Structure 1
Amino acid sequence: MTMTPDQATWFAGICDELVENVEQVLLGKNHVIRLSFTALLSRGHLLLEDVPGTGKTSLARAMAESIAGTSNRVQFTPDLLPGDITGVSIYDQRSGEFAFHRGPIFSNIVLADEINRASPKTQSALLEVMEEQHVTVDGVTHAVGSPFMVIATQNPIEQAGTYRLPEAQLDRFIMKTSIGYPDHQSTLRILEGSDAAENAILSPVASAATITEMTRMATTVHVDASINDYVARIIEGTRTASEIRLGASVRGALALVRTAKTLAAVSGRSFVIPDDVKALADTVLAHRLILDPEAEFDGVNPSNVIAQVLIDTPPPSDSQVA
């Protein structure tokens, strides 16, 4: 069943309240917060490439409090083991059986801080849970619950002692963005209310059950055939660009459509328009592209390629979408 206009209005209202709630502790970052909730409501995960001290932990904690959920922060280090994330089975001498002790991944919002500092083996421990929302330990599957979202961070400046995320794992992140530094006015507001912001406990705006229902509703947003064609042409454009060695995958195309549907609902619409696709193309696709070494040496980055692909790919007209 397709989402109705009334449902879209209700959906957008809840999202506005969620964003306003998180903005109490993350000032001046409305766009990033909205993107984060779009990723959450698309059953996706978020990769933040940012320098320390921009509010990544505050974002994860505030999102969890806003949906009456739980949050955990995992500091990734070279000696971190997969079991430190997923949990381990420990022998109970009294019962004579092994009991599973859940790791920090069993939360609604999990902040994987500096994920590229852990070994590839530990990084890969996240692959199953990010895609399937469950972990398997000693042959037993354990569901992590719903809603569930991993917010992983990378420091783009300090690369010593890090391990580059494999393409297979990058593809699991539905979006990649950055919080960035606040503007001057927001910085002043942060300084004036620093004590209050650090100790603030946000009131829940929606329950975890409501978020799960909104996630389901987002899938019912109407996508016209011309929009699907537009997305397919954008994806093909990333594969044929001369600067690209490896373009976006089918998973990237599905992610772009899925997030565009959610963004439409967040905007109070029950149907996707080309502007939804344009607004998300860079955030959803750029981290999935692998540049040609010569283009990278010349200073080209994936965002430049996405921007050019959008210029070269005409969107459908309003009459086609309608």
Structure 2
Amino acid sequence: MSDYSVANAGGSGTGTHANSEQAPTAPISTAEFLLDARAVIAAIETVIDGKRSVIETAVTVLLAEGHLLMEDVPGVGKTMLARALARSVDCSVSRIQFTPDLLPADITGVSIYNQAEREFEFKPGPVFANIVIGDEINRASPKTQSALLESMEERQVTVDGASYALPEPFTVIATQNPIEMEGTYALPEAQRDRFMARISMGYPDQAAEAAMLRTRETGSPLDRLAPVVTLDRLRKMVDTVRAVFVSPAVEQYAVAIAAATRTDRELRLGASPRATLQLVRASKARAALDGRDFVLPDDIDALAVPVLAHRLIPSRSSASGALGGEALADITSRIVAATPVPLGASGAV
């Protein structure tokens, strides 16, 4: 079967068959990395007012090659943030509106018989993009949700026994509303565990909300947002994050925090080994965004809640069991505060 290309909804991107290889990219300096990263953050801030920390976490996940789950009430800008992040990079972008009647093939693509060539031809679905925005992901059936599992973990899709590699980098940004639960399907633990981080937008402060009223009088600032980073540049930024050094002591600190979640009395399910790996990867991106080429325990501490809390399940006997994400964040913070920092984890080697 021949290679295929994906229609671009926000830049240029091409999917290839699973046996193809990504061309290597040259490294960039810390100064260049910071210049590009700050340009992306500044571009998103022209659309999202007063949410610097949330924006930085979203950019951290993108640079760490992870997937982001945005969970909050309607109207606070979840989809707007996802679209702004996607538009700030000149790459292929697709958006999937999850509904109860959505089928797995609507996401992954299908094989169609080509009568002229007398063979089946694969037609890629919207998952074949660098950034995939999944709006209201919990409104699709579990069968459809599961269509994303392979792509999120293995960066490939298998259809009719053939595997197709997804473009690199590949990030899923999904939104869901935790309030209107009728007609929704809660994400299973296996899928929540594939999201590197979960964030909540929260309501803006009064000054930011007033500024939003002024900037949106004549249209959406999203319409004026142009890419500030090319796809090739984004790949180089990802390579820079991969090269960030993590000392054995910092690795042990991350492992100790994850292990503590597995034995905590208030939790029935603790963090998985995948969660530990993603915590370290996200911490490398945070270190790079701070201008460092090594990870500090502070990076682990800052990202423990967004990376770990959504993967935890409270015990049935726990008083926190019915309080949801906020209580799990408090439990995660308590565990981090109680975990001692190993000697030698406070600086570069």
Give the alignment's TM-score, normalised by structure 1: 0.93
1:218 and 1:297 map into 2 onto residues whose CA distance is 36
2:151 and 2:334 map into 1 onto residues whose CA distance is 35
Structure 1: which 5+ residue stretches go unaligned? none
SS where residue 278 of structure 1 aligns?
helix
How big is the shift at 1:316? 3.8
Match of 1:226? Answer: 249
SS where residue 133 of structure 2 aligns?
strand
Q: Provide the alpha-carbon RMSD of the alignment.
A: 1.9
Match of 1:106? Answer: 128
Judge conservation of contact 2:112–2:121 (CA < 8 Å) in 1.
yes
1:188 aligns with 2:210: yes
How big is the shift at 1:55? 1.9
SS where residue 95 of structure 2 aligns?
strand
Match of 1:312? Answer: 338
Judge conservation of contact 2:241–2:288 (CA < 8 Å) in 1.
yes
Match of 1:82? Answer: 104
**Structure 2 counterpart of 1:143, from 157, 160, 165:** 165
Structure 2: which 5+ residue stretches go unaligned? 1-26
How big is the shift at 1:46? 0.2
How big is the shift at 1:277? 0.5
Match of 2:303? Answer: 280
SS where residue 231 of structure 1 aligns?
helix
Judge conservation of contact 1:227–1:321 (CA < 8 Å) in 2.
no
Q: Deviations over 1:284-319 (max 9, x none)?
A: 000111110121446472111111111211224677
**Structure 2 counterpart of 1:175, from 197, 219, 227:** 197
1:290 aligns with 2:290: no
**Which structure has greater helix proportion?**
1
Which letter maps to 2:39? E
Which letter maps to 1:112? G
Match of 2:12? Answer: none
Match of 2:143? Answer: 121
Judge conservation of contact 1:25–1:200 (CA < 8 Å) in 2.
no
Q: Deviations over 1:6-53 (max 9, x none)?
A: 933332221111100111111212111111111011110001111222
**Structure 1 counterpart of 2:328, from 296, 299, 302:** 302
How big is the shift at 1:232? 1.4
Match of 2:279? Answer: 256
Distance 1:144 1:13, change over 3 A: same
Judge conservation of contact 1:72–1:110 (CA < 8 Å) in 2.
yes
Judge conservation of contact 1:50–1:154 (CA < 8 Å) in 2.
yes
1:268 aligns with 2:291: yes
Match of 2:347? Answer: 321
* Structure 1 segment 90-101 matched on structure 2, within 5 A: 90-101=112-123
Which letter maps to 1:133? R
Judge conservation of contact 2:267–2:313 (CA < 8 Å) in 1.
yes
Judge conservation of contact 1:63–1:109 (CA < 8 Å) in 2.
no
SS where residue 200 of structure 1 aligns?
helix
**Structure 2 counterpart of 1:152, from 170, 174, 177:** 174
Considering Cα pairs closer than 8 Å and 6+ residues apart, tell me whether 1 or 2 has the greater RCO.
1
**Structure 2 counterpart of 1:8, from 30, 35, 39:** 30
